[in-house]
Protein backbone atom coordinates (compact mmCIF):
# COMPACT_ATOMS: atom_id res chain seq x y z
CA UNK A 1 0.00 0.00 0.00
CA UNK A 2 2.89 2.37 0.75
CA UNK A 3 4.35 2.05 -2.74
CA UNK A 4 0.91 2.29 -4.29
CA UNK A 5 0.36 5.65 -2.56
CA UNK A 6 3.78 6.89 -3.64
CA UNK A 7 3.07 6.00 -7.26
CA UNK A 8 -0.35 7.60 -7.01
CA UNK A 9 1.22 10.86 -5.79
CA UNK A 10 3.72 10.79 -8.64
CA UNK A 11 1.18 9.92 -11.33
CA UNK A 12 -1.53 12.40 -10.35
CA UNK A 13 0.43 15.06 -8.41
CA UNK A 14 -2.08 14.48 -5.65
CA UNK A 15 -1.64 13.82 -1.95
CA UNK A 16 -4.91 12.90 -0.25
CA UNK A 17 -3.73 14.78 2.86
CA UNK A 18 -4.44 17.99 0.89
CA UNK A 19 -8.13 17.26 1.45
CA UNK A 20 -8.15 17.17 5.26
CA UNK A 21 -8.61 20.94 5.77
CA UNK A 22 -11.85 20.71 3.77
CA UNK A 23 -13.26 17.80 5.75
CA UNK A 24 -14.00 19.06 9.23
CA UNK A 25 -16.01 16.23 10.77
CA UNK A 26 -18.80 18.54 11.95
CA UNK A 27 -19.26 19.80 8.39
CA UNK A 28 -19.21 16.29 6.93
CA UNK A 29 -22.05 15.25 9.24
CA UNK A 30 -24.00 18.35 8.21
CA UNK A 31 -23.23 17.43 4.61
CA UNK A 32 -24.55 13.88 4.83
CA UNK A 33 -27.68 15.26 6.52
CA UNK A 34 -28.13 17.73 3.66
CA UNK A 35 -27.73 14.97 1.08
CA UNK A 36 -30.44 12.96 2.88
CA UNK A 37 -32.67 16.03 2.99
CA UNK A 38 -32.31 16.65 -0.74
CA UNK A 39 -32.91 12.99 -1.56
CA UNK A 40 -35.59 11.97 0.92
CA UNK A 41 -36.82 15.19 2.52
CA UNK A 42 -35.44 14.20 5.93
CA UNK A 43 -34.54 16.63 8.70
CA UNK A 44 -32.24 15.99 11.67
CA UNK A 45 -32.91 17.88 14.88
CA UNK A 46 -30.34 17.54 17.64
CA UNK A 47 -31.69 16.45 21.03
CA UNK A 48 -29.60 17.81 23.89
CA UNK A 49 -31.73 16.46 26.74
CA UNK A 50 -31.23 12.75 25.92
CA UNK A 51 -28.91 10.76 28.19
CA UNK A 52 -26.19 8.96 26.22
CA UNK A 53 -23.33 6.61 27.11
CA UNK A 54 -20.64 9.28 26.59
CA UNK A 55 -20.48 13.07 26.40
CA UNK A 56 -19.20 12.94 22.80
CA UNK A 57 -22.29 11.03 21.57
CA UNK A 58 -24.83 13.17 19.70
CA UNK A 59 -28.50 12.32 19.36
CA UNK A 60 -30.88 13.44 16.59
CA UNK A 61 -34.57 13.09 15.95
CA UNK A 62 -35.18 12.27 12.30
CA UNK A 63 -38.38 13.54 10.67
CA UNK A 64 -39.98 13.44 7.24
CA UNK A 65 -40.59 16.62 5.26
CA UNK A 66 -44.16 16.74 6.63
CA UNK A 67 -42.84 16.65 10.19
CA UNK A 68 -43.81 13.04 10.91
CA UNK A 69 -41.44 11.07 13.11
CA UNK A 70 -39.00 8.67 11.41
CA UNK A 71 -36.74 7.60 14.25
CA UNK A 72 -33.77 8.45 16.45
CA UNK A 73 -30.12 8.52 15.34
CA UNK A 74 -27.11 8.38 17.67
CA UNK A 75 -23.65 9.31 16.37
CA UNK A 76 -20.43 8.33 18.18
CA UNK A 77 -17.50 9.28 15.94
CA UNK A 78 -14.21 9.29 17.85
CA UNK A 79 -11.86 6.77 19.49
CA UNK A 80 -11.45 6.41 23.25
CA UNK A 81 -10.29 3.83 25.74
CA UNK A 82 -12.45 0.68 25.92
CA UNK A 83 -13.99 1.45 22.51
CA UNK A 84 -13.13 -0.97 19.74
CA UNK A 85 -11.81 0.27 16.41
CA UNK A 86 -13.67 0.24 13.12
CA UNK A 87 -17.03 1.66 12.07
CA UNK A 88 -20.47 0.11 12.19
CA UNK A 89 -24.21 0.68 12.46
CA UNK A 90 -26.46 -1.04 14.98
CA UNK A 91 -30.16 -0.86 15.72
CA UNK A 92 -30.92 -0.14 19.38
CA UNK A 93 -34.61 -0.53 18.63
CA UNK A 94 -35.76 -2.04 15.35
CA UNK A 95 -38.85 -0.94 13.50
CA UNK A 96 -41.75 -3.28 14.23
CA UNK A 97 -44.59 -4.31 16.49
CA UNK A 98 -44.24 -3.79 20.22
CA UNK A 99 -47.25 -4.29 22.49
CA UNK A 100 -49.62 -4.06 19.56
CA UNK A 101 -48.16 -0.92 17.99
CA UNK A 102 -45.41 -0.39 15.42
CA UNK A 103 -42.47 1.24 17.17
CA UNK A 104 -40.16 3.48 15.14
CA UNK A 105 -36.45 2.59 15.09
CA UNK A 106 -33.51 3.96 17.02
CA UNK A 107 -30.13 3.39 15.35
CA UNK A 108 -26.55 4.26 16.11
CA UNK A 109 -23.50 5.00 13.99
CA UNK A 110 -20.19 4.27 15.72
CA UNK A 111 -16.70 4.98 14.39
CA UNK A 112 -13.15 5.79 15.47
CA UNK A 113 -12.28 8.66 13.18
CA UNK A 114 -9.50 11.26 13.43
CA UNK A 115 -10.19 13.25 16.62
CA UNK A 116 -9.53 16.91 17.29
CA UNK A 117 -6.22 18.09 18.76
CA UNK A 118 -5.30 21.02 21.00
CA UNK A 119 -4.90 23.32 18.00
CA UNK A 120 -7.10 21.78 15.30
CA UNK A 121 -10.65 20.44 15.03
CA UNK A 122 -11.32 16.92 13.79
CA UNK A 123 -10.14 16.91 10.16
CA UNK A 124 -10.89 13.76 8.20
CA UNK A 125 -9.17 12.08 5.29
CA UNK A 126 -11.14 11.15 2.19
CA UNK A 127 -11.62 7.51 3.20
CA UNK A 128 -13.08 8.61 6.55
CA UNK A 129 -15.59 10.80 4.72
CA UNK A 130 -16.59 7.78 2.64
CA UNK A 131 -16.93 5.81 5.88
CA UNK A 132 -19.40 8.36 7.27
CA UNK A 133 -21.52 8.20 4.12
CA UNK A 134 -21.28 4.38 4.07
CA UNK A 135 -22.43 3.84 7.64
CA UNK A 136 -25.05 6.55 7.26
CA UNK A 137 -26.46 4.51 4.37
CA UNK A 138 -26.91 1.60 6.77
CA UNK A 139 -28.60 4.00 9.20
CA UNK A 140 -31.04 5.13 6.51
CA UNK A 141 -31.85 1.49 5.77
CA UNK A 142 -32.75 1.01 9.42
CA UNK A 143 -34.55 4.34 9.87
CA UNK A 144 -36.70 4.31 6.74
CA UNK A 145 -38.06 0.81 7.21
CA UNK A 146 -41.84 0.48 7.00
CA UNK A 147 -42.11 -3.19 7.94
CA UNK A 148 -44.58 -4.50 10.49
CA UNK A 149 -42.25 -7.07 12.04
CA UNK A 150 -38.73 -6.54 13.35
CA UNK A 151 -37.38 -9.72 11.75
CA UNK A 152 -38.24 -8.46 8.25
CA UNK A 153 -37.48 -4.77 8.76
CA UNK A 154 -34.49 -2.53 8.15
CA UNK A 155 -31.17 -4.26 7.64
CA UNK A 156 -32.64 -7.74 8.27
CA UNK A 157 -32.19 -8.69 4.62
CA UNK A 158 -30.21 -11.23 2.60
CA UNK A 159 -26.53 -10.95 3.44
CA UNK A 160 -25.60 -10.16 -0.17
CA UNK A 161 -28.10 -7.28 -0.28
CA UNK A 162 -27.38 -5.52 3.00
CA UNK A 163 -24.46 -3.46 1.64
CA UNK A 164 -26.39 -1.83 -1.23
CA UNK A 165 -27.88 1.03 0.86
CA UNK A 166 -24.49 1.75 2.43
CA UNK A 167 -22.23 1.47 -0.58
CA UNK A 168 -24.47 3.52 -2.84
CA UNK A 169 -24.15 6.46 -0.43
CA UNK A 170 -20.39 6.55 -0.96
CA UNK A 171 -21.00 7.62 -4.56
CA UNK A 172 -22.19 11.08 -3.51
CA UNK A 173 -18.79 11.80 -1.96
CA UNK A 174 -17.22 11.74 -5.42
CA UNK A 175 -19.73 14.14 -6.96
CA UNK A 176 -18.88 17.84 -7.17
CA UNK A 177 -22.51 18.85 -6.62
CA UNK A 178 -22.57 16.99 -3.30
CA UNK A 179 -19.02 17.79 -2.16
CA UNK A 180 -19.57 21.52 -2.45
CA UNK A 181 -22.45 21.29 0.02
CA UNK A 182 -20.05 20.65 2.90
CA UNK A 183 -16.38 20.59 1.87
CA UNK A 184 -15.19 24.02 3.02
CA UNK A 185 -11.78 24.95 4.44
CA UNK A 186 -11.94 24.90 8.23
CA UNK A 187 -9.98 28.18 8.54
CA UNK A 188 -10.94 30.26 5.50
CA UNK A 189 -14.39 28.91 4.63
CA UNK A 190 -13.25 28.42 1.01
CA UNK A 191 -15.31 25.83 -0.87
CA UNK A 192 -13.20 22.93 -2.11
CA UNK A 193 -11.68 24.05 -5.44
CA UNK A 194 -12.49 22.37 -8.73
CA UNK A 195 -8.87 21.33 -9.33
CA UNK A 196 -8.86 19.25 -6.13
CA UNK A 197 -12.18 17.65 -7.08
CA UNK A 198 -10.70 16.86 -10.49
CA UNK A 199 -7.71 15.17 -8.84
CA UNK A 200 -10.05 13.12 -6.65
CA UNK A 201 -11.91 11.89 -9.72
CA UNK A 202 -8.78 11.16 -11.77
CA UNK A 203 -7.08 9.23 -8.97
CA UNK A 204 -10.15 7.43 -7.63
CA UNK A 205 -9.80 4.44 -9.96
CA UNK A 206 -6.06 4.03 -9.49
CA UNK A 207 -5.38 0.32 -8.96
CA UNK A 208 -9.06 -0.59 -9.45
CA UNK A 209 -8.24 -3.60 -11.60
CA UNK A 210 -5.88 -5.10 -9.03
CA UNK A 211 -8.26 -4.39 -6.14
CA UNK A 212 -11.08 -6.05 -8.06
CA UNK A 213 -8.98 -9.16 -8.61
CA UNK A 214 -8.04 -9.21 -4.94
CA UNK A 215 -11.69 -9.14 -3.84
CA UNK A 216 -12.55 -11.88 -6.33
CA UNK A 217 -9.59 -13.90 -5.08
CA UNK A 218 -10.81 -13.67 -1.48
CA UNK A 219 -14.30 -14.64 -2.60
CA UNK A 220 -12.97 -17.72 -4.41
CA UNK A 221 -10.92 -18.68 -1.34
CA UNK A 222 -13.94 -18.32 0.94
CA UNK A 223 -16.09 -20.52 -1.29
CA UNK A 224 -13.29 -23.07 -1.61
CA UNK A 225 -13.19 -23.56 2.15
CA UNK A 226 -16.94 -23.95 2.50
CA UNK A 227 -17.44 -26.27 -0.45
CA UNK A 228 -14.44 -28.47 0.32
CA UNK A 229 -15.34 -31.90 1.72
CA UNK A 230 -11.82 -33.22 2.06
CA UNK A 231 -9.15 -32.85 4.72
CA UNK A 232 -6.69 -30.04 3.98
CA UNK A 233 -3.11 -30.96 4.87
CA UNK A 234 -1.38 -28.13 3.01
CA UNK A 235 -3.10 -24.75 3.39
CA UNK A 236 -0.61 -23.03 1.11
CA UNK A 237 -1.34 -25.41 -1.78
CA UNK A 238 -5.09 -25.26 -1.09
CA UNK A 239 -5.01 -21.46 -1.40
CA UNK A 240 -2.93 -21.58 -4.58
CA UNK A 241 -5.44 -23.82 -6.34
CA UNK A 242 -8.45 -21.88 -5.06
CA UNK A 243 -7.18 -18.51 -6.27
CA UNK A 244 -5.09 -19.38 -9.34
CA UNK A 245 -7.59 -17.70 -11.70
CA UNK A 246 -7.01 -14.31 -10.09
CA UNK A 247 -3.31 -14.33 -9.22
CA UNK A 248 -1.06 -11.72 -10.85
CA UNK A 249 2.08 -12.22 -8.77
CA UNK A 250 3.94 -15.31 -7.60
CA UNK A 251 3.04 -16.43 -4.09
CA UNK A 252 5.47 -15.97 -1.21
CA UNK A 253 6.52 -19.33 0.26
CA UNK A 254 5.11 -19.92 3.71
CA UNK A 255 2.62 -17.05 3.52
CA UNK A 256 -1.13 -17.75 3.62
CA UNK A 257 -4.24 -15.58 3.84
CA UNK A 258 -6.54 -18.12 5.47
CA UNK A 259 -4.80 -18.02 8.86
CA UNK A 260 -5.87 -14.41 9.33
CA UNK A 261 -9.04 -14.33 7.22
CA UNK A 262 -11.26 -13.48 10.17
CA UNK A 263 -14.19 -12.38 8.02
CA UNK A 264 -15.00 -15.93 6.95
CA UNK A 265 -14.17 -17.80 10.13
CA UNK A 266 -15.40 -15.50 12.89
CA UNK A 267 -16.75 -12.39 11.20
CA UNK A 268 -20.08 -13.59 9.83
CA UNK A 269 -19.08 -13.85 6.17
CA UNK A 270 -18.76 -17.64 5.94
CA UNK A 271 -19.46 -18.57 2.29
CA UNK A 272 -20.57 -14.97 1.87
CA UNK A 273 -17.47 -12.88 1.23
CA UNK A 274 -18.53 -12.54 -2.42
CA UNK A 275 -21.28 -10.21 -1.18
CA UNK A 276 -18.80 -7.33 -0.98
CA UNK A 277 -18.15 -7.49 -4.72
CA UNK A 278 -21.79 -8.19 -5.55
CA UNK A 279 -22.77 -5.11 -3.55
CA UNK A 280 -20.40 -3.06 -5.73
CA UNK A 281 -22.22 -4.34 -8.82
CA UNK A 282 -25.55 -3.36 -7.28
CA UNK A 283 -24.52 0.08 -6.07
CA UNK A 284 -22.72 1.02 -9.29
CA UNK A 285 -25.71 -0.01 -11.39
CA UNK A 286 -28.20 1.70 -9.06
CA UNK A 287 -26.18 4.92 -8.94
CA UNK A 288 -26.07 5.05 -12.73
CA UNK A 289 -29.83 5.60 -12.50
CA UNK A 290 -29.20 8.62 -10.27
CA UNK A 291 -26.53 9.86 -12.67
CA UNK A 292 -28.92 9.53 -15.60
CA UNK A 293 -31.75 11.37 -13.83
CA UNK A 294 -29.70 13.76 -11.66
CA UNK A 295 -28.00 12.81 -8.39
CA UNK A 296 -30.65 14.64 -6.35
CA UNK A 297 -33.64 13.69 -8.50
CA UNK A 298 -36.51 13.35 -6.04
CA UNK A 299 -38.50 10.84 -8.12
CA UNK A 300 -35.51 8.51 -8.37
CA UNK A 301 -34.77 8.93 -4.67
CA UNK A 302 -38.40 8.23 -3.78
CA UNK A 303 -38.32 5.06 -5.86
CA UNK A 304 -35.13 3.94 -4.10
CA UNK A 305 -36.74 4.64 -0.74
CA UNK A 306 -40.02 2.91 -1.62
CA UNK A 307 -38.50 -0.15 -3.27
CA UNK A 308 -35.22 -0.66 -1.39
CA UNK A 309 -34.85 1.27 1.87
CA UNK A 310 -38.35 0.82 3.24
CA UNK A 311 -39.00 -2.79 2.31
CA UNK A 312 -36.56 -4.76 4.46
CA UNK A 313 -36.93 -8.40 3.44
CA UNK A 314 -40.63 -8.34 2.59
CA UNK A 315 -39.70 -9.51 -0.92
CA UNK A 316 -36.73 -11.22 -2.52
CA UNK A 317 -33.89 -8.72 -3.14
CA UNK A 318 -33.99 -9.21 -6.91
CA UNK A 319 -37.68 -8.33 -6.96
CA UNK A 320 -36.98 -5.17 -4.98
CA UNK A 321 -34.05 -4.21 -7.18
CA UNK A 322 -36.00 -4.75 -10.40
CA UNK A 323 -38.86 -2.65 -9.03
CA UNK A 324 -36.39 0.23 -8.61
CA UNK A 325 -34.19 -0.22 -11.68
CA UNK A 326 -36.69 -1.78 -14.08
CA UNK A 327 -34.31 -4.66 -14.81
CA UNK A 328 -31.69 -6.88 -13.22
CA UNK A 329 -28.31 -5.30 -12.30
CA UNK A 330 -25.61 -5.17 -14.97
CA UNK A 331 -21.96 -5.72 -14.11
CA UNK A 332 -20.89 -3.29 -16.85
CA UNK A 333 -21.87 -0.37 -14.61
CA UNK A 334 -19.16 -1.33 -12.11
CA UNK A 335 -16.58 -1.81 -14.87
CA UNK A 336 -17.43 1.64 -16.24
CA UNK A 337 -17.16 3.26 -12.81
CA UNK A 338 -13.77 1.62 -12.28
CA UNK A 339 -12.72 2.83 -15.75
CA UNK A 340 -12.06 -0.75 -16.85
CA UNK A 341 -14.35 -0.39 -19.87
CA UNK A 342 -15.73 2.64 -21.68
Query: Which residues are marked as active site?
Result: 135
User: What is the rounded CA–CA span in Å between residue 137 and residue 107?
Assistant: 12
Give the CB-side neighbour count of residue 58, counting CA atoms within 13 A.
13
Distance CA 262, CA 125 (A): 26
- Bridge partners (DSSP) listed for residue 72: 61, 106
CB 286 within 8 A of CB 324: yes
CA distance 197 to 226: 43
Those residues whose C-beta lies under 8 Å from the C-beta of residue 15, and which sit 6 or more positions away, are 9
Q: What does the alpha-carbon distance between residue 85 and residue 162 come to, in Å, rounded to a whole number?
A: 21
Task: Please tell me the distance from the alpha carbon of residue 261 to that of residue 215, in angstroms, as a whole number.
Answer: 12
Altogether, the residues listed in the chain come to a count of: 342
Classify residue 102 by its DSSP letter.
Answer: E
34 neighbors 212 (Cβ within 8 angstroms): no
The DSSP bridge partners found for residue 69 are 63
User: How far, CA to CA in Å, does 197 sit from each of 30, 78, 126, 180, 193?
Assistant: 19, 26, 11, 10, 7
Q: CA distances (Å), 280 to each of 88, 165, 333, in order? A: 18, 11, 9
Distance CA 125, CA 128 (A): 5
Residues 6+ apart with CB under 8 A from 299: 293
User: What is the separation, in whole angstroms, between the first and last Cα of the chain?
Assistant: 27
Amino acid sequence: MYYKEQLKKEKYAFDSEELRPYFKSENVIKGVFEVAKRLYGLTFNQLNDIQTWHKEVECFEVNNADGSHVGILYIDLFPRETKRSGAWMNALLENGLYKGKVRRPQVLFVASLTPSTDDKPSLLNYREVETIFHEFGHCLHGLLSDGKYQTTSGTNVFWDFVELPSQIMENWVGESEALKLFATHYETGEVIPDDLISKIKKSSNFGAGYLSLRQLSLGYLDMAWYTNLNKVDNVEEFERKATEKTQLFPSIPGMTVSNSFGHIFSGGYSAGYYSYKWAEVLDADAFEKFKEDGIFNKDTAQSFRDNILSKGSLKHPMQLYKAFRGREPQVEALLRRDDLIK
